[in-house]
Amino acid sequence: MATDGVKIIDGDLAHDTYEYIMELYDNGASAEIIKKEIPFIKEDYGDETDFYHEIFVTAYALAFWEIGELTDEILNEVKRVIELKAGVNLWTKDVDEKEGKKRQKVLDRFLEKISAPNKKVRNRKKYRTTVVSLVVSISIFIALSSFLTYGQMMTGSYYTDLSYNIAVNGGNEALYEKIATWSGINSYSYSYQTSAEIDVNKYGTDFAKEELENKKQIYEEDFQENVGKYEYNTLGLTIVMVNNDYFKSYVKSLGMNEKDYSNIAILGDDMMHYLGQGKSKVEHYFNVKAGESMEVTMDDEQKQIKISKITTERPMGYESCYTEGGYLFVSEDYPVVTKDKSELNSGNLCIDAQKPSEIENKLTDLKKEGEDFEDIMITNLAEYADQQKRIIILVSIFLYGFIAVITLIGVTNIFNTITTNMILRSKEFANLKSIGMTTKEFNKMIRLESVMYGTKSLLIGIPIGLLGSYEIFKSFTNSIDFGFIIPWQAIIISVIFVFIIVGLTMKYSLNKINKQNIIETIRQDNI
């Protein structure tokens, strides 16, 4: 006897046939694909061909009826095998007439059942819903984590790590010296700017040449009528003339002899070049070394400037500044570029104040004193920095709150979906246990299912989350330049979170199922 009982699903062949069809269906396979994987017509099952054929056909028919795909071909074959009475005869012969009659009743009830349309077609969306719920939670969490990271990077990039907290744009040396006498000022620096041009083919690095080529392409795209009229052979250099007192201290901080400050020219042509994935390197515009001279063009006049030092440590007011070609820092008395300050760009004053608000108020009052001061622009960087910190806190609270809500919804959805699905499969599990599956084997099967849910969700959710992260990254680069960062922390948290949630939910459902009575469960909707 190749079956444990007279029921339709009561032996290895019936169970394997039924469960394989259901597994394919739950994983999204169509009826056509299932039929190709498990052909309906079977020719031989051993010595007791008709009996085995009856087991296969009835299990096959039950599965297709439950998924709503039972065809007339399958139904007619069921009717034929029932009329053959192979199962009834075998049960009567090998056991007794009573068991044979039981088998006949089971077959008759079964035929009656599948002859009517199934009004409760098995819903495979439970599997899909579980995976989709996990995918949505994973992708949103990763994307929002990236949004928070980039938001903090952007807001934290302004007005931070500066050596001053008040900036004054405009004015003249007399004004700056007057302000410097006020109490409550720790240090100050003022400067003037002029510009020069450098032959990029002679002194430019590959990076500089690439930058100019990109600029040329953009220019030609925007102004097609001017193609060929302009040559991009020069690179700009901003020359910053710093007041003597501060420049001396700046030179000293670089380990140089401040006594010779008037002949010192310091090059700051570094720029952070972002390579992506959080990686970056410092690039330089000019191919020149400390101690070498560089030919510059100022007001159509060529001059030689000896570069005393190349550094990334910039003076007050220029810590976070960037310009194409970089800066050359010199003193007011530098002989090569000294000119009437009235011919230079308006000055800039940087102040490190003990109480920035008080200095700001005094500067505001100063603007009211006369026309000489009314054009100056005052910036309280300390106030802006505080604003940025508050923005970071508010954005963090909002995003973490949003992530928490999304996560809670996702967890609730996942819990409900998995537990409901497990309850709906109670009879399936009871049948497995009834044919000899041990508790250990059953628990192992459920754990493997949990791994499958989690793995498939992560394989789909992580790429979608990364795609969302990259789109967020591109939107932020419109405001500030930095490299794409893979949110490894968010990915790791997602992996741990998914397996914990799925594992705990499966364990909860498993405990409920293991407490169920196998016989009572099978009797429910018993065919």
Per DSSP, the residues of 186-210 read EEEEEEEEEEEEEEHHHHB-HHHHH
Alpha carbons 334 and 348: distance in angstroms, whole number: 18
pLDDT at residue 485, rounded to an integer: 80
What is the DSSP track for 427-495? HHHHHHHHTT--HHHHHHHHHHHHHHHHHHHHHHHHHHHHHHHHHHHHHHTTTS-------HHHHHHHH
Number of other residues whose CB lies within 10 A of the CB of residue 95: 14
Q: Per residue of the chain (527 residues), give pLDDT as tens.
A: 555 678 888 888 888 888 878 877 876 677 888 888 788 865 544 445 788 888 889 999 998 998 888 999 899 999 998 888 888 888 888 888 888 888 899 999 999 999 998 887 776 655 666 677 778 888 888 888 888 777 667 655 555 557 788 888 887 777 888 888 888 888 888 888 888 888 888 888 888 888 777 776 665 655 455 444 445 678 888 899 998 989 999 999 998 988 888 889 999 888 766 555 556 678 888 999 999 999 998 878 888 999 999 998 888 888 777 777 889 999 988 887 756 665 666 678 888 888 888 888 888 887 777 656 667 788 888 887 788 778 777 877 887 787 778 777 767 777 776 676 666 666 666 766 666 667 777 777 777 777 877 888 889 889 998 998 888 887 776 555 566 788 888 889 888 888 888 888 777 777 777 666 666 655 554 44
pTM of the model: 0.54
What's the Cα-to-Cα distance from 217 to each of 209, 226, 479, rounded to whole Å?
12, 12, 22
pLDDT at residue 2, rounded to an integer: 52
Residue 198 CB burial class (10 angstroms; 0-12, 13-18, ≥19): buried
* Cβ contacts of 142 within 8 Å, gap of 6 or more: 461, 462, 465, 466, 468, 469, 487, 490, 491, 494
Number of other residues whose CB lies within 10 A of the CB of residue 498: 24
pLDDT at residue 13, rounded to an integer: 83
pLDDT at residue 420, rounded to an integer: 67
Alpha carbons 171 and 346: distance in angstroms, whole number: 7
pLDDT at residue 359, rounded to an integer: 86
